[in-house]
A and B are shown apart, each in its own frame.
Chain A
Amino acid sequence: MSLTRSLAIAGFLAAIVAFAVVEVLARRKGSTIPTLGDVCAHVMAYEVGRIPVGRIGFFGFWWWLGWHLFAR
């Protein structure tokens, strides 16, 4: 395995571990860090007029992600 491939794998693993660590820290009692779900909920609540732009954006991204990983 090449050094650059190992670097990419290590980088993505580091990101996944970082996501998990921040989520664990957020779930500690008295933490000032919101959980990932809370952050998503706030972004999804964003609206322009009566259009739920945040919800459409999140659902659209997640839909594309599933299609990209499992169908394309």
Chain B
Amino acid sequence: MEQSQTEIVADAPRGAVGTLPVLAFLSLVGGQLPSFTTRANLYTICLGGSMLWLGLAGRARRPLPARLGAGTAWWLVPVAIFGVFEGSTFLLGSMAEYPTFSKLADPLLEDELLRSVGYFAWLGGFWALVRR
């Protein structure tokens, strides 16, 4: 039998206990770096690159869940709503009167605490994808 190089990890909560403080620390650091700076660019590029490397190395994946059914189509509802508004605001130039999602988020992300929270959500999502 061919042996898979991928280690299947089913006990996600145990792994999360050690990971969350690391992600929180990285988020606090990221929250201190304002946009449009070299430091912020390097930080997101290095963090994302590390996550990409971890994800493609594939050492800690969960087993693939059961086959998807017809209920999957329900996910098209939120995706379509977001797509319509993001697409239309982008095509109309993302003006202040009709802004894209990221333009709406920019003033919120200027606050260091909210920026750290945003970083934590981004890194947490990235880590969840890495483990899939």
Asked if chains A and B come from one complex, the reply is yes
Residues of A close to B119: CB separation below 8 A:
66, 70
A19–B78 CB distance below 8 A = yes
Residues of B close to A42: CB separation below 8 A:
64-65, 68
What range describes how many residues of B lie at the interface? 35 or more
Q: Counting chain B CB atoms within 10 Å of each CB, which of A31, A36, A58 scores highest? A: A58
A31–B71 CB distance below 8 A = yes
| Interface membership of B10, Cβ < 8 A | no
CA gap between A70 and B71 in the complex, in Å:
34
CA gap between A2 and B30 in the complex, in Å:
33
A63–B52 CB distance below 8 A = yes
Residues of B close to A40: CB separation below 8 A:
129, 132
In the complex, the chain A residue whose C-beta lies closest to that of B69 is: A32
In the complex, the chain A residue whose C-beta lies closest to that of B53 is: A59
CA gap between A14 and B78 in the complex, in Å:
8
CA gap between A37 and B81 in the complex, in Å:
19
Q: Choose one: B43, B45, B51, B105; the contact of A59 (CB below 8 Å).
A: B51
A66–B74 CB distance below 8 A = no
Q: Choose one: A9, A26, A67; the contact of B48 (CB below 8 Å).
A: A67
Q: Determine the main DSSP class of B at the interface with A.
A: helix
Q: Choose one: A18, A44, A62; the contact of B122 (CB below 8 Å).
A: A62
Q: Counting chain A CB atoms within 10 Å of each CB, which of B41, B82, B119 scores highest? A: B82
Residues of A close to B45: CB separation below 8 A:
67, 71
- Contacts known (A4-B98, A42-B68); A63 close to B89, Cβ less than 8 A: no
A residues at B contact (CB < 8 Å): 2, 4-5, 7-9, 11-12, 14-16, 18-19, 22, 25-26, 31-34, 36-42, 44-45, 52, 55-56, 58-60, 62-63, 65-72
User: 13 A-B residue contacts at CB 8 Å?
Assistant: A8-B98, A8-B99, A8-B104, A22-B75, A37-B132, A40-B129, A55-B55, A62-B48, A62-B126, A65-B122, A66-B119, A71-B43, A72-B41
